Amino acid sequence: MTGTGKGVPAGVALCSETRVPATLRAVLRGFDSAFVLLSGRGATSFGCAMRYAAPTSIEEAVSVLAGDVHAQVYAGATDFIPQLRMGRPEPGVAVDLKRIDRLTGLRREGDSWVIGAATPSARLGEEEDLVAELPGLVEAAALIGSDQIQSRASLGGNLCNASPAADSVPAMVVNNGRAVIAGPAGMRTIPVASVVTGPGSTSLAADEFLVEFVFDRPPPRTADAYLRFIPRTEMDIAVVGAGARLTLDEAGRCREVSVALGAVAPTVVMVPAAAGILVGHPLTDEALKRVAAEASAVCNPIDDKRGTKAYRRQVAGVLAVRALRLAADRAARTGS
């Protein structure tokens, strides 16, 4: 562990000079980002503006956050570092969560899967039983960037970065994921769907962070799927992402269904009408056509270089149906 051997707690901050006043810091940062743009390199700024802390327990992380209002947690830094490069101000302390065991593992616990918030997404695909039980969640995590990125990118970072296009989020939401949050008052658990409040913003307080995600293990004849549409096969941001999870009955009729769409609104949107259309019925072409129309209708997309609003709406319908079919095929194969 890092530590100065001079009585500084392991992992905590190794920079002791007086903090630069906030206003001066802002000015210097303005200069800094200009420098980044001009030189193309976010070279180390001035001295030791940003400290680094690597707590090894949840309690230690909570106290680092409580001790500095300018602290920011991070996991893989695959969003965090590029954002600093773009000129976003450095936090006072960057709190690396990856040295806390509970945040970097994944385990089956009774009827649940528990995935540490800082676990690299590559880990998910290495866990055979998880791949078998939540294939849609694993395929969503496997779509995040290249192998290099997947060695680091976490579900916690993907969610808390709060990009509307984050790939793992629709898959977590259709699986009714819960997020366990630590803070000065202890732990609390909320639905994944209520973490993100808009692009770049979450409902977490500044002194809170995500510890882990909890997913129910699927009952019989239940499966999930996630599909993303991008203009190329790798390394791009979703034009639309669609997650689906459903449970079939013995006769192949839909018993429960959940559909969530990414990149088509400021936050992930559900398609609640899918349940009304499908529950109690087989997945006929006619029923799925109605689901597609409902999926298109709930979108509130933007126009950008990846697609127009109309295009995104249409693709959302198509992708929702494909994800449902894939989930249904998988659910049928899981047998009774």
Partner 1 sequence: MSRTHVTCTINGDPAEFLCDSDQTLLDALRDVVGLMGVKEGCATGDCGACSAILDGRLTCSCLVFAPEAEAATIETVEGMAGPDGLHPLQDAFLEGAALQCGICTPGFLVAGKALLDRNPDPDEEEVRYAIAGNLCRCTGYDKIVRSILDAAAQMREAAPAS
Ligand X SMILES: Cc1cc2nc3c(=O)[nH]c(=O)nc-3n(C[C@H](O)[C@H](O)[C@H](O)COP(=O)(O)OP(=O)(O)OC[C@H]3O[C@@H](n4cnc5c(N)ncnc54)[C@H](O)[C@@H]3O)c2cc1C
**Residues near ligand X (CB under 6 A):** 72-80, 82, 97, 117-118, 143-145, 149, 152-154, 156-158, 160-161, 166-167, 204, 209-210, 235
x-or-dash string of contact with partner 1, 48-77, rule CB under 8 A: xxxxx-x---------------------xx
DSSP 158: H
Nearest to 171 by CA among 127, 220, 118, 113: 113
Which residue from 6, 18, 41, 333 is in contact with partner 1, where contact means CB under 8 A?
A: 41
Nearer to partner 1, 80 or 226 (CB): 80
Q: Which residue is nearest to ligand X (CB)?
A: 157
| 293: contact with partner 1 by CB under 8 A | no
Strand order in the sheet with 186-191: 106-109, 112-116, 209-216, 178-183, 186-191
DSSP 102: G
3-state secondary structure labels for all residues of 254-292: EEEEEEEEECCCCCCEECCHHHHHHECCCCCHHHHHHHH
x-or-dash string of contact with partner 1, 121-160, rule CB under 8 A: -x----------------------xxxxx-xx--------
Which residue from 33, 35, 56, 90 is in contact with partner 1, where contact means CB under 8 A?
A: 90
Nearer to ligand X, 178 or 221 (CB): 178
Q: Indicate the angle between helix axes 309-333 and 285-298, nearest 10 degrees.
A: 140
* Contact partner at residue 218 from ligand X, partner 1, none, CB < 5 to 8 Å by partner kind: none
CA–CA separation, 200 and 68 (whole Å): 21
CA–CA separation, 317 and 292 (whole Å): 4
The minimum distance between CB 54 and partner 1, in angstroms, equals 7
| 104: contact with partner 1 by CB under 8 A | no
Count residues near partner 1 (CB under 8 A). Answer: 43
Nearer to ligand X, 167 or 294 (CB): 167
* Contact partner at residue 144 from partner 1, ligand X, none, CB < 5 to 8 Å by partner kind: ligand X
Nearest to 60 by CA among 119, 103, 10: 10
Nearest to 52 by CA among 18, 90, 23: 90
| 265: contact with partner 1 by CB under 8 A | no
| 7: contact with partner 1 by CB under 8 A | no
x-or-dash string of contact with partner 1, 197-236, rule CB under 8 A: ------------------------------------xxx-
Nearer to partner 1, 51 or 330 (CB): 51
Backbone phi and psi for residue 229, each to the nearest 5 degrees, phi listed first: -105, 120
* Contact partner at residue 161 from ligand X, partner 1, none, CB < 5 to 8 Å by partner kind: ligand X
Nearer to partner 1, 72 or 300 (CB): 72
| 2: contact with partner 1 by CB under 8 A | yes
* Percentage helix, strand, coil for the chain under 3-state DSSP, each rounded to 5: 35, 25, 40
Distance set, CA 92 to CA 7, 19, 101, 157, 201 (Å): 21, 8, 24, 19, 19
Nearer to ligand X, 132 or 206 (CB): 206
